[in-house]
Amino acid sequence: RDEMEQVLKEYGDERRTEIVGSQLDLTMEDLISEEDRVVTISKTGYAKSQPLTDYSAQKRGGTGRAAASVKDEDIVEHLLIANTHDTLLCFSSHGKVYWLKVFMIPVASRTARGKPIVNILPLEEGERITNMLPVQDYSEDHFVFMATSNGTVKKTELTNFARQRSVGLRAIELDEGDELVGTAITDGSKDVMLISSSGKTIRFNESDVRAMGRTARGVRGIKMADEFKMIALIIPDPGKQILTVCEQGYGKRTLVEDFPVYGRGGQGVIGIQTSERNGAVVGAAQVTEADEIMLISDKGTMVRTRVTEVSVQGRNTQGVRLIRLKDGEKLVGLEQVDEPDEVEVIDEQLHEESGSVAADPEAGAIIESDDSVEPDTDETE
């Protein structure tokens, strides 16, 4: 007892520490280090990411990977570089938007397929992702510009997408049979180009479209006959070219400056002639001379070629042959081969000489295609 009283006398001051509830609210994102990732979604719907550091400063050294069967070939449909803490706005063909943190996309090697996007996002049957937009913050002076296959356009303030829902939200109301084709983040002052399967292109300033709420249907962007569809939304950059391809294997590049600015809602001007020889337009993309493209046919043929092999022509022309198709075969799409500019090619190269690459459906392997560029006589307006 005496000892206890002595201890109390010497050390009986008030407690110096204080026990309080935790003020630190950690999320999974707080535990993820920030790094840049290369995010891809393939044509068949597989998603993956790779650290940007996996790509060295060595220039690409060839035209493709080692031969593989056509059924195993799966090209990249969407590619972007984003930070692990960025949010991806994933827009679907049904007019919905889903939110996906970059760090939630599984990391996989260059040769791995990745994870089915339907196992990451709650997509409905038949729904597919048509565009991905990386967002770091929801700036009040920025907009999401959208375009549908029926030629409808809509502009919505980016802040309207700040409130996330796990099941997604309606980004645009669609009529029956319509699909969301393209999206882009703009600052309210950009020009917009809409390209239809008829070969017509309309260019107007986005100020012609007022900002609307998420559930609005939008306004007419381009006037088309019922048998045609809007196939591409492009925000044009000076000095670049618009590459268009038609279902019979013909295409061309045209300077952005060759397309005049008009008001929205018209039929547009001829971007490429959709003659009996050419057929309808099936794809369009904004390119530079450093880019490559992949052409895909309904028979499984794929041709990869450099943009520089496609001639630059005026608007009212037919273009040149880009691929020789068999009887009854048609092109169904154009994809940019979106890879980082500087990539270390690890896979064995098929050829040392430059050239485009095609997939032979009979042999089931990738082969080098013949030089099939066939010039045509330009026809001016």
Tokens of 137: 């913050």
For residue 304, the number of C-alpha atoms closer than 13 Å in the C-beta half-sphere is 19
The token duo for 20 is 């309080």
Would you give per-residue pLDDT tens digits along the chain (381 residues)? 788 888 887 877 777 787 776 666 777 777 888 999 989 888 889 999 989 887 654 333 333 333 233 345 667 788 888 999 999 999 999 999 999 999 999 999 877 889 999 999 999 999 999 999 999 999 999 999 999 999 999 999 999 999 999 999 999 999 999 999 999 999 999 999 999 999 999 999 999 999 999 989 999 999 999 999 999 999 999 999 999 999 999 999 999 999 999 999 999 999 999 999 999 999 999 999 999 888 888 887 878 889 999 999 999 999 999 998 999 999 988 888 755 544 433 333 333 333 333 333 333 333 333 443 444 444 433
Kindly state the helix (H) or strand (E) to which residue 9 belongs, with its residue range. Answer: helix 2-11
Length of the chain: 381
pLDDT for res 361: 34
Amino acid at 90: C
Q: Give the H or E element holding residue 4.
A: helix 2-11
Q: Kindly state the DSSP code that residue 272 receives in the 8-state scheme.
A: S
Three-state SS across 168-198? CEECCCCCCCCCEEEEEEECCCCEEEEEECC
Task: Give Cα separations from 45 to 117, 136, 232 (angstroms).
Answer: 6, 24, 20
Q: Which is nearest to 211 in space by CA: 153, 132, 298?
A: 153
Decide: 320 and 311 in contact? Cβ < 8 Å.
Answer: yes
Distance CA 319, CA 4 (A): 101
Asked if 89 contacts 135 with a C-beta cutoff of 8 angstroms, the reply is yes
CA distance 39 to 83: 10
- Answer whether 231's CB lies under 8 Å from 196's CB: yes
**In terms of Cα–Cα distance, which of 201, 279, 203, 207 is closest to 243?**
201
Residues 6+ apart with CB under 8 A from 197: 228, 229, 230, 231, 274, 280, 281, 282
pTM value?
0.77
> CA-to-CA distance for 317 and 289, rounded, in angstroms?
20
What distance in Å separates the CA atoms of residue 150 and residue 203, rounded to the nearest whole number? 16
In the structure encoding, which two tokens stand for residue 311, read together?
A: 């001639």
Residue 358, pLDDT score? 36
- Please check whether residue 241 is in contact with residue 254, taking contact to mean a CB–CB distance below 8 angstroms: yes
Domain ranges of the chain: 34-368
**How far from 258 is each of 30, 202, 224, 285, CA to CA, in Å?**
49, 12, 21, 15
Q: What tokens were used for 140?
A: 């009040």
C-alpha to C-alpha distance for 129 and 47, rounded to whole angstroms: 11
Alpha-carbon distance of 254 to 88, in angstroms, equals: 31
34-368: CATH, from 3.20.20.105, 3.30.230.10, 3.30.43.10, 2.120.10.90:
2.120.10.90
Cβ distance 256 to 239 under 8 Å?
Answer: yes
Collapsed DSSP state (helix, strand, coil) of residue 71? helix
Q: How far apart are CA 360 and CA 363, in angstroms?
A: 5
